[in-house]
Structure 1
Amino acid sequence: MRKVNRRKLLIIGIVIFFIWLLFLQRTRLKEDSEDSYIVEGQGQSRIVPRKCLVPEWNQKTTNSLPHAAQFEQWRTRRIGSHVRFKLIDFKAFVFILQHNILDAESRLLSAFVYPDQISIVTTAFHTYGKRATCVYYDCNRKEIPSTRFQSRVIPLTVVSCARRYGAEYVSLIFDEDEEPQDPIPLIFRAYEQPVHELSVCVGPLYGDESKWLEVVEYVEHYRLMGTSMFYFTLFNMNEYDRKIIDDYERLGLAESTKYMMEYVKLGWMFHLIQTHECHHRSRFHSKWVINMDIDERLIYTGPNNFIHFLRSIPNDFSEISVSSNRVLKTEPLPEKFKSEEQLLADMMFLKYNQTTEISWYNLKGIIRPEMVALLFYHWSCRQFDETKVMSVSKRFAYVRHYRSVDENKLNSNWRTFYNGSLVETRLEEPFERRLTAAVMKRVKYVYDQRMIRCEEIPPWIFNRFERRLLDCNFRNESQVIDNDSTGISGF
Structure 2
Amino acid sequence: MSFIQLPFFQNSTEPTSLPSNGTVSEVNEIPIEPLTPRPPPSKDEVIDSGDDEVVGGESAMSYYRKLAGATTNLLNGQASFGPMQILAGYSYKDHFSATIAVPKKIGTTAYCRYIGADGKEVAEAVESRVYPFFVVYCSRRNNVTMLGVTNDKSEPINTQNSAKLIRRKFKEYQHNVSFCLAPIYGTEPKWLHFVELVEHYKLQGVNKFFIYIREIGEYDKKMIESYVESGEVEVINIPGTVSDVIAQQLMGVADCLLRSRTYSKWSIFADIDERLIMTDDRNTIDGFLRNLTDESIGSVAFPQRWIMKREHIPPKFESDQQVIEKMPTRAWHETTSAALKGHPVCNDQKSCWAKDIVHNEKAIQLLVHEVVQFYPGFRELFLDPSIGYIRHYRDVQMQSWERNNIESLKKFGPISNTTYPSSIGSKLLKNVLNRLHRVY
Deviation at 1:293, TM superposition (A): 0.9
In structure 1, the partner of 2:178 is 199
**Which residue, 370, 386, 389 being the options, matches 1:395?**
386
What is the CA-CA distance between 1:402 and the residue it aligns to?
A: 0.7
Is residue 115–residue 191 contact of structure 1 (8 Å, CA) maintained in 2?
no
Does the alignment pair 1:165 with 2:112? no
Partners of 1:60 and 1:357 in 2: how far apart? Answer: 49
Match of residue 260, structure 1, among 235, 239, 256: 239
Asked if the contact 1:58/1:167 (under 8 Å) is kept, the reply is no
Q: Equivalents in 2 of 1:217, 1:193: separation in Å?
A: 30
Aligned partner (choices 362, 367, 377) of residue 371 of structure 1: 362
Task: Report the CA distance between 1:185 and its aligned residue.
Answer: 1.1
1:203, 1:275 within 8 Å by CA — same for their partners in 2?
Answer: yes
Contact 1:119–1:280 (Cα < 8 Å) also in 2: yes
In the alignment, which residue of structure 2 is the partner of 1:42?
A: none
Aligned-partner Cα distance in 2 for 1:66–1:210: 46
TM-score by length of 1: 0.71
Tell me if 1:284 matches 2:262.
yes
- Residue 251 of structure 1 aligns with an amino acid whose one-letter code is S
The answer to whether the 8 Å contact 1:214/1:294 transfers is yes
Structure 2 spans left out of the alignment, 5+ residues: 1-43, 341-351
Q: Does 1:72 align with 2:65?
A: yes
Match of 2:158 among 167, 171, 181: 181
> Is residue 2:229 matched to residue 1:250?
yes
Matches of 1:74 and 1:160 in 2, distance apart?
A: 12
CA RMSD of aligned residues (A): 2.4
How many angstroms apart in 1 are the aligned matches of 2:123 and 2:397?
56
Is the counterpart of residue 293 in structure 1 residue 271 in structure 2? yes
CA displacement 1:395-445 (0-9 Å, x = unmatched): 211111111112447777323544364321111212110100011111111
User: Which residue of 366, 373, 376 corresponds with 1:385?
Assistant: 376
Find 2:74's aligned residue among 77, 82, 90.
82
Cα distance in structure 2, aligned partners of 1:285 and 1:423: 40
SS of residue matched to 1:288: strand
Kindly indicate whether the alpha-carbon contact (under 8 Å) linking 2:49 and 2:93 is maintained by their aligned counterparts in 1.
no
Give distance in 1, aligned partners of 2:226 and 2:47.
35
1:445 aligned partner, one-letter code: R
Aligned residue type for 2:196: E
CA distance in 2, matches of 1:103, 1:446: 44
Between stretches 159-168 and 425-434, larger displacement belongs to 159-168
- Give the secondary structure class of the aligned counterpart of 2:393: strand
Q: Which has the higher contact order (CA 8 A, sep 6+)?
A: 2
Confirm or deny: 8 A CA contact 1:203 1:292 kept in the other structure: yes
Contact 1:59 1:166 in 2 (8 A): no
Cα 1:425/1:59, change in 2 over 3 Å: closer
Which residue matches 2:38? none
Q: Is the 8 A contact 1:403 1:412 kept in 2?
A: no
Alignment of 1:294-313 (within 5 A): 294-302=272-280, 304-313=283-292
The answer to whether the 8 Å contact 1:206/1:266 transfers is: no
SS in 1 for 2:143: coil
Richer in helix (by share): 1
Does the 8 Å CA contact 2:46/2:171 hold for their aligned counterparts?
no
Aligned amino acid, residue 323 of structure 1:
P
CA deviation after TM superposition for structure 1 residue 267, in Å = 2.5
Q: Which stretches in structure 1 are left out of the alignment for 5+ residues?
A: 1-55, 84-92, 448-491
Deviates more, 1:299-308 or 1:404-413: 404-413
User: Deviation at 1:186?
Assistant: 1.0
Residue pairs, 1:211-222, within 5 angstroms: 211-222=190-201
Distance in 1 of aligned mates of 2:397 and 2:132: 34
For residue 304 of structure 2, what is the aligned residue in structure 1?
324
Please state if 1:347 is matched with 2:327: yes
| Cα contact 1:61–1:162 (8 A) shared by 2 | no
Verify the 8 A CA contact 2:122 2:143 in the aligned structure 1: no
> Hey, what's the Cα distance between the residues in 1 that align with 2:80 and 2:407?
32
Q: Secondary structure at the match of 2:184?
A: coil
Between the aligned partners of 1:412 and 1:405, the Cα distance in structure 2 is: 8
Partner of 1:439: 432
TM-score by length of 2: 0.79
Q: Which moved more, 1:176-185 or 1:68-77?
A: 176-185
Distance 1:365 1:107, change over 3 A: same
Q: Figure out how many residues of one structure are paired with residues of the other and give that number.
A: 375
Q: What secondary structure, in the 3-state scheme, does the structure 2 residue paired with 1:71 have?
A: helix
Q: Secondary structure at the match of 1:204?
A: strand
| Matched letter for residue 302 of structure 2 | V
Structure 2 CA distance for aligned equivalents of residues 350 and 317 of structure 1: 34
Residue 371 of structure 2 aligns to a residue whose secondary structure is: strand
